[in-house]
Amino acid sequence: MAKGGIVWLTGLSGAGKSTLASSLSAKLAAQRPVELLDGDEVRTFLSAGLTFSRADRDTNVRRIGYVARLLAKHGVLVFVSAISPYAATRTEVRRAAEAQGIAFVEVFVNAPLETVTARDVKGLYAKAHAGEIPAFTGVSDPYEPPEDPTVEVRTDRETPAESEDKILSALRSLSLC
């Protein structure tokens, strides 16, 4: 069985989490079992009906963590792309994985608010700044950056290839690829 693990990409909406997770999981799929749990997609399957309150965000993050552990336990390298704004909840999910002997790689996908607001790929920041979306992470809802992530990528300064290389390097050092 391959060595399972969880690569948890956290960061603001639009920072590049899903793009990185999707690209990396596609690249690694040729060499090892890989799964991609994208926050938006998982929410529709596991957490329809939950709101964006702190309690409901935490519930959503815990559910993703539970599914990721089930897969990692069976030798899958699971890429999770989820805003997961609260540090304590990310720590809880990390500890639950490590308690089962599962490697947990926290990747801080960091781009300043000005950058993601300027990009505004989905048009959400304009609405959030206009007050049309309540509880929008980074604008009207907190984002607690990781204090000690396994990897930090700066998608405002690095090319996608540079960011990917940093993550791959961390995975190699943990024998995950």
Least distance (Å) between residue 56 CB and its own copies: 9
Active-site residue (options: 13, 18, 84, 163): 84
d(CA 50, CA 60): 8
Residue 99 within binding range of its own copies, rule CB under 8 A: no
Q: Is 46 in the site for its own copies (CB under 8 A)?
A: yes
**β-bridge partners, 79:** 7, 36
Residue 160 DSSP one-character state: H
In the complex, what is the shortest distance from the CB of residue 67 to its own copies, in angstroms, rounded to a whole number?
6
Does the active-site annotation cover 84?
A: yes
The answer to whether 106 and 8 are in contact (CB under 8 A) is: yes
Rounded CA-CA distance 12/66 in Å is 22
Q: Is 54 in the site for its own copies (CB under 8 A)?
A: no
Q: Considering the complex, state which of residue 94 and residue 146 has its C-beta at the smaller distance from its own copies.
A: 94
**Closest listed residue to residue 85, CA positions, set 166, 177, 15:** 15
Which stretch in 46-54, 99-107, 110-118, 120-128 sits in contact with its own copies by CB under 8 A? 46-54
Cα 36 to chain centroid distance, Å, stands at: 10
By CB under 8 A, name the binding residues for its own copies: 1, 33, 35, 45-46, 48-49, 59, 62-63, 66-67, 70-71, 73-76
